[in-house]
Structure 1
């Protein structure tokens, strides 16, 4: 019994000492850990290095190991290291020297480079981020800030506010002995624990009148576009139906002498399988999954405020993507079966591996560059192994389940018209009716409905802003979906009216072309809205912007194709075909 009692006492004591950062509750004199995270140039937010990659020294307290608690933390390059500073809850710490730096030529060069390139560093106390600047330069030389004053606000045993003040400039020169000091001041704060992240948000930026006006403008454009499309198509289709009904009343001789034209003439080829059906079905399946992931993650972010936890948004996206893999298999497998595809296992593998291959390929390229620069953005091997295991043992089996269900439940072709054995020749038409003209025009209006929101999203990712207005994002996603469907339906109608039955790829690529305009906008944003520089940041920016645009294009293309597919089935099912 005595031995069991000792074990229980040890367990309780250990939980008391280590549970503070997780339940955010502290008792008097309890240790508060100051984690040093990363350091990097202010204008290159995503270019980060370990804090102690600069010749800083640590405090005297024994080290505490930090392990990545989530996959998102590891993928985002979080590098928490214990500062070694002695901070106790509620106990004021007067100014004290915790270590001393002796500058040699190598250390001087490192600090000078950091100061001249406006390096900032990030720390965490109780999951609250703190930013500070390394130093400053003037005509007399470069200076290092050597004193950290931490003002910590407390409310009901929880830390609700942290402010850092950098003081005491020290001129950098070879052989200098630089004392690093710190000071901690505790005070009561009226801020509630659930509101402690509000200070990091920027309502004046995200809820600016321009943001509201852009949403209203996009909403009005949707109403106008839907009304216009409905009016044009309904009136035009009504005339088409009347003309086709008159044609049906003619005898064969009159019909042969008549001037037949329009979308009815391709009824025997319009449901012909798209070229490259395996790739097409894989893209559509992936697009359905991406749309589901974006919808679920945005809804979770609206309810759960994911920005309050390090890496939580990325971790949630990975979990939701893995869990929604059956959506990919179901829609992709069903479409492939309706197109008469036979090698369904290969199609399933292509569908499951399409997006992970794009993401991992881009991440591998950036990771190679990050390793060369010794940046914290380099993904550890264990993390890459974890991602590979998720793909092999979660995503692939779930995609297989979805594919089997899709083939059995929705894999039978239900076309309202028979498909001719011999393809009908596509007649010559005016240049502006060619798919290569229709496709780029199809992305103009969808991009116009989202480009203001793209500015806010880019700014939150590439600058020091926390995106939190997910209600705006949800509304913009709905607007984008409606506009994409309307535009691709109009494009497809013109194409079919020109007796060109290659509507599947045209409708997909017309919606997908939105991504091209987004990427062009990202190029403009890089050169005119940021001050990024250097090969690392340039490669990082354009690689991930290319990946973002590609994924957005797959989603928009899929939404456009699905809406157009319903439209095509509808118009051909309402016309009597002999």
Structure 2
């Protein structure tokens, strides 16, 4: 069934960009792409999916066994056929959307007090499925004019109205006699379409635009209905209970006793027993003079406006912390290091010190320039990629460096020594650059309003397109770093760079998909989409990474260092507990984590509960993200400086771990959020939550680790380049 969905994706990146723009109306730019309706013009209603805060499994609404099956009839004036699937972009498929044309008939301006839809029969399996859906608190998502159906509420102070996307499929209440749970299905919906006069020429011709789509669900018993199946009482009817016992004709005594719903005499337990569920709906069109079409999404975010003070508190907290770190970095760069360099050069001019790359002063006088040159050439032999140095005997004239050379200057001959396992670090740096490019593009497009709730699935689709196109950046930076570390097989490095992160993501998602497929959930990625993703990966991204690697390795070459590494590595003295790799990374990660801690609650709530509220926070996230990157850079500079002062020159991997460490704290926060804020049940839903959290934190860690590495690289090159005297 899922394979029948049409997906606008191709194996080539330019066509993928076009597929993301599924139609002009997908863009939500105020004043553009407005759909206006004349009175009596049909308005299509699409059914999408059902989802719940208590589980990560979503289901297509049309595939539920207890809802009306599509009639398949033509919808005049729309060119649509009931039951036909709507073409989806890549992002919509990956987020679990399954959009289908419904049989609900809406005409602009035409109110319908009550309309009969269908009477659907379910067997015992379908009845149990309906109970599970109601018990798990599932809500349905319908779509009209690209707006999701919503339930309206008012704020705590009752001053403003806001929307909560979706509507409940049913409700649960306890029996007053037995205390057992009873489940009721919402089989009647009241649809309220709020309209505003269309802007411009359409408005002068009497056309209208839709600015609100509200759905109010109600449970109405199967009995007490007029001819045609419509209920007589719409105001306060008894609910429709999900039980075979409810099929008895006279329910007066049953309601009085209440216990009769669980007594066997009203349900003989026959396997072929069925329950008939009648579905009806009402439609009302309401003029909304205060809301313009360009602002129609505001009601979905009014409730989040109440947290603005907390958002600004988080931003102020971030600015204060980053300001303190900036002051510390300024002291390190402007005073401490500048003073060290100045003292070094003054001592050199007085003849007390030697240049790092020049002539050495010894107790026997100046070393022969020729002899010094020959030895420096030997010491400058490049290390192997695995960090193993070329061992050469020291000269008898070499003595201990003068006491004036202390701290970070002592490791000048080893600071640019190639790290161990550099063949793994280089692909990570390339993958991080790819992620940074993608994230930057998404933030820019979101700030300009191109990515927004109206562009359904656009965030994921455009993110994939940017990631694929950024493959050339990945290959370029990975190859240059790889060659700097002394690597020679750039083709292997290109393949590792192209498969490391995508391979991990694909393998994890495919494994999870096997279990989700077994649940017939729309969360499962269809087989056709998986094939399309593999094609994008192998036929588009891999060649781009390969091309970037070729150019970076053969044309641009290795990065140059101001100081050549000595052949004999200097012995690293014992480090304090806080200066060791793991402890230093964890401690350094606490500072950036403190920057985003306040915002994390809103981010997690938007992702796992509000479902679409993350669009509202892009302004705040852009500011917090910029501050986070700045803090990661400053923290890395401080930590690397302390490490070098402790005569530990193994900063390559350490700088990457320092930058990536906030992701570990964020993953720890996700565990806390799962335990204290979510109510997810089931082993599969739990596995999905932690797998998605791990993948998200892992990719964030690679991106931030790359930022830390590049910052440390620039910092180390700057300070050691400043002390070099030609």
TM-score w.r.t. length of structure 2: 0.73
Q: What residue in structure 1 maps to residue 705 of structure 2?
A: 557
The Cα of 1:525 is off from its aligned counterpart by 0.6
1:287-436 correspondence to structure 2 within 5 Å: 287-303=432-448, 304-436=450-582
Contact kept in structure 2, 1:103 and 1:173, CA below 8 Å: no
Contact kept in structure 1, 2:476 and 2:553, CA below 8 Å: yes
Contact kept in structure 2, 1:98 and 1:182, CA below 8 Å: yes
| Change over 3 Å in CA distance of 1:166–1:240 after alignment to 2 | same
Matched, 1:232 2:332: yes
Question: SS of the counterpart of 2:703?
Answer: helix
1:493-532 correspondence to structure 2 within 5 Å: 493-532=641-680
Q: Distance in 1 between matches of 2:308 and 2:85?
A: 39
Question: SS of the counterpart of 1:153?
Answer: strand
Q: What residue in structure 2 maps to residue 13 of structure 1?
A: none
Question: SS of the counterpart of 2:363?
Answer: helix
| Change over 3 Å in CA distance of 1:429–1:132 after alignment to 2 | closer
The Cα of 1:577 is off from its aligned counterpart by 6.2
Q: Distance in 1 between matches of 2:88 and 2:580?
A: 53
Contact kept in structure 2, 1:58 and 1:85, CA below 8 Å: no
Q: What residue in structure 1 maps to residue 268 of structure 2?
A: none
Q: Distance in 2 between matches of 1:437 and 1:115?
A: 48
Question: SS of the counterpart of 1:417?
Answer: coil
- The partner residue of 2:362 within 235, 248, 252 is 252
Matched, 1:36 2:47: yes
Deviating more after overlay: 424-433 vs 373-382: 424-433
The Cα of 1:539 is off from its aligned counterpart by 0.8
Matched, 1:50 2:51: no
Q: Distance in 1 between matches of 2:72 and 2:36?
A: 22
Contact kept in structure 2, 1:417 and 1:577, CA below 8 Å: no
Q: What residue in structure 1 maps to residue 396 of structure 2?
A: none
Q: Distance in 2 between matches of 1:317 and 1:499?
A: 42
- The partner residue of 1:264 within 387, 399, 409 is 409
Q: Distance in 2 between matches of 1:153 and 1:527?
A: 40
- The partner residue of 2:108 within 74, 85, 89 is 89
Which segments of 5 or more consecutive residues in structure 2 lack a partner in the other structure? 1-22, 27-32, 74-81, 150-165, 176-181, 199-207, 221-238, 245-273, 354-360, 365-398
- Indicate the RMSD between aligned Cα atoms, in angstroms: 2.3
Q: What residue in structure 1 maps to residue 217 of structure 2?
A: 166
Question: SS of the counterpart of 2:50?
Answer: strand
Q: Distance in 2 between matches of 1:501 and 1:199?
A: 56
Contact kept in structure 1, 2:71 and 2:83, CA below 8 Å: no
The Cα of 1:430 is off from its aligned counterpart by 3.0
Q: What residue in structure 2 maps to residue 6 of structure 1?
A: none
Q: Distance in 1 between matches of 2:106 and 2:416?
A: 71
| Change over 3 Å in CA distance of 1:134–1:414 after alignment to 2 | same
Matched, 1:76 2:95: yes
Contact kept in structure 1, 2:479 and 2:552, CA below 8 Å: yes
Q: Distance in 2 between matches of 1:205 and 1:510?
A: 35
CA offset digits 1:436-493 (Å, max 9, x no partner): 3222212110111112222211111100251222121111111111111111111111
Matched, 1:139 2:158: no
Question: SS of the counterpart of 1:159?
Answer: strand
1:455-466 correspondence to structure 2 within 5 Å: 455-464=601-610, 465-466=612-613
Q: What residue in structure 1 maps to residue 721 of structure 2?
A: 573
Q: What residue in structure 1 maps to residue 133 of structure 2?
A: 114
Q: Distance in 2 between matches of 1:375 and 1:204?
A: 30
Question: SS of the counterpart of 1:544?
Answer: helix
The Cα of 1:172 is off from its aligned counterpart by 2.3
Larger helix fraction of residues = 1
Contact kept in structure 2, 1:59 and 1:85, CA below 8 Å: no
Structure 1 segments of 4+ aligned residues over 4 angstroms from their partners: 18-23
Q: Distance in 1 between matches of 2:25 and 2:419?
A: 59
CA offset digits 1:136-159 (Å, max 9, x no partner): 222333222221111112232332
Structure showing greater radius of gyration is 2
Contact kept in structure 1, 2:579 and 2:643, CA below 8 Å: yes
Q: Distance in 2 between matches of 1:344 and 1:138?
A: 65
| Change over 3 Å in CA distance of 1:171–1:216 after alignment to 2 | same
| Change over 3 Å in CA distance of 1:444–1:19 after alignment to 2 | closer
Deviating more after overlay: 413-422 vs 280-289: 413-422
The Cα of 1:69 is off from its aligned counterpart by 2.6
The Cα of 1:258 is off from its aligned counterpart by 4.4
Contact kept in structure 1, 2:414 and 2:649, CA below 8 Å: yes
Question: SS of the counterpart of 2:277?
Answer: strand
Q: Distance in 2 between matches of 1:275 and 1:510?
A: 17
Which segments of 5 or more consecutive residues in structure 1 lack a partner in the other structure? 1-17
